[in-house]
Structure 1
């Protein structure tokens, strides 16, 4: 793959979700990086091999942008007109959901422990009833095996 093809794939993929300015900045960055590495004596193929797939780079850049937008979006700005009451309601609802999730995890853990205890109890009950038969049978088999060897 050539530098132009690499940059065009990167530009095409980034253009699907980013603004023209952001795409231009990212493509410019990678173009400068490739040129700088080539000035330092590396071949174009080496640099492009190091960078990898331009579609993967684009996906990473878009994921980072999406994450940054999620963090930079103020939660309360949309509620400023009503004095923040709706923001408080949202926070309370999130807190309730968190408590429900914890309660669900606790319930699942309790159910798991009860099921494991029941399985162990059932296995123990069966074993207790089989031991009076199994022990003499094992002794008889050992005696028979001992005398067969002699």
Structure 2
């Protein structure tokens, strides 16, 4: 894979979830990184192979940006070994068998839409349940209410 192919795949993978500035910053970073490593005498294909799959890198960047959106941190750099290690440690603890905590952010339009539809669904469900209860109890309580009113009126005339 060439540098251009790597950067195009990375850009395409980031395009659905991140803004243009964030995409540009990350693509520029990897472009500069590959160029710098080639300047040091390494082969372009070797550097790209070491970086790994651009889709996996994009997934890490997107996850990092989602977390950042909640904490206000900034994305500084990519460190392949440390990044992979940290992701593994957060994802699954082999000794205890527990998975790490996953934070859901509302940074994309579809997540906001799902939240809004969920809230509307809960409201509709509550109204439907209350309406069902009223429709079941109305045939009992309406006659009782009318009977109580008639009894009060009759008692009022006797005094």
The normalised TM-score by structure 2 is 0.44
Find the structure with the greater CA-based Rg: 1
The normalised TM-score by structure 1 is 0.47
